[in-house]
Amino acid sequence: MAQHDSAHPEHLPSESTRPESAQPESAQAPHPRALGLWEMADLVTPMAVRVAATHRVADHITDGRVTAYDIARAEGLRTQPLQRVLRHLVTVGVLTADGGTYGLTELGQGLRADHPSRQLHLIDLGGAIGRGDLCLVDLPHVVRTGDPAYPVRYGLPYWDDLEAHPELAESFDRVMADNVARDARSIAAAYDWSSLGHVYDLGGGNGVLLAGLLTAHPTLRGAVVDLPATAARAAQRFRAAGLGDRAGVVGGSFFDELPTDGGGYVLSSVLHNWADNEALRILERCAEAVAGGDGRVFVVEETGESAHTGMDLRMLAYYGGLERPLDEITRLARAAGLEVAGVHRAGGQATAVRSIVELVPEGRAH
């Protein structure tokens, strides 16, 4: 399964501000959020927001259930504890209150399931990302041992847990589809994918990126390689999009032997999910697949000069992965017998740009 980093925003910040006396002097560079240490470390507001997301408070209010009693009854909750959560959300600017009824602020609108930002699906505690974020509470374990925190909290490694719980895997696929959909057009425009003839999207999830590439390049053909249940969802997407004649699926893993008939092998937001040893194994499989022909490997990651440090810690806590700058991707590629033939920019900001790193077997780039 693939994972996208750039569209995993941090939790909604508290609306409170530092006291006047605590503001930095004008000669000092203020913290970007101008938060004090207590506010930065506060868990109350993030968890209150996540509880509201999990129990669809914004959707209930939109549908006319505007009291704590009505929402609690619909969700099977206790009214008095929920009311205290709602009162706090009023304090931090997520909700409004008028007597015993609640409404949504502009910020609170983002908690609706149909909001264009799709933020709810990132912080719903019943989803793959919201559930995963709770393991950050065990970050002390990570810095003591170097091991991921997710198995400490849930008893299974992240990917095994998703495989064991189809509803989590589907949640993960939905979030990734939202993320990839925002980038697919710029990725499709950044390279002449049609020149490859046939591409394999490794860990391509439910096929959003490949569908975007095929739509933008009408002569291109391709297939998603992913675990069987996920690959089946990709097949459904291709049929619904009218791409069934040019798009296929291969049920399998990028740790296993790959088909060798591809012109391109795409790893979009895959390597950052894995520590170096596993990332190297993935690249070695790709190197084997392109060794006997003209195939190329494309690593699509954020490689900006300023690392997304919050996402880097998320990768560390979930499964021991990490965000890598271009020189680190280059180093791993060389260890796998690949070299950089080109780097293609696919939009984004200068400090958080999404790069398409084109790799070929050593000696073929010149």
What amino acid positions are annotated as catalytic residues?
A: 272
- Taking alpha carbons only, the member of 265, 287, 247 closest to residue 202 is 265
- Dmax (CA) for the chain in angstroms is 73
Report how far apart, in Å, the C-alpha atoms of 56 and of each of 51, 52, 112, 170 are: 8, 6, 7, 18
Strands of 81-236 (E only): list them. Answer: 95-98, 101-104, 198-202, 221-226
CB atoms within 10 A of CB 223: 24
Q: What are the C-alpha distances in Å from 41 to residues 14, 70, 136, 150?
A: 11, 32, 12, 20
SS3 77: coil
Give the three-class secondary structure for 158: helix
CA–CA gap between residue 239 and residue 358 (Å, rounded): 29
In whole angstroms, what separates CA 343 from the centre of its chain?
A: 22
Q: Which residues pair with 361 in a beta bridge?
A: 338
Structure tokens at 95: 């909700």
At residue 63, φ and ψ (nearest 5 deg) are -85, 5
Handedness of CA 333, 330, 301, 215 (dihedral sign): negative
251: left (phi > 0), else alpha (psi -120 to 50), else beta?
Answer: beta
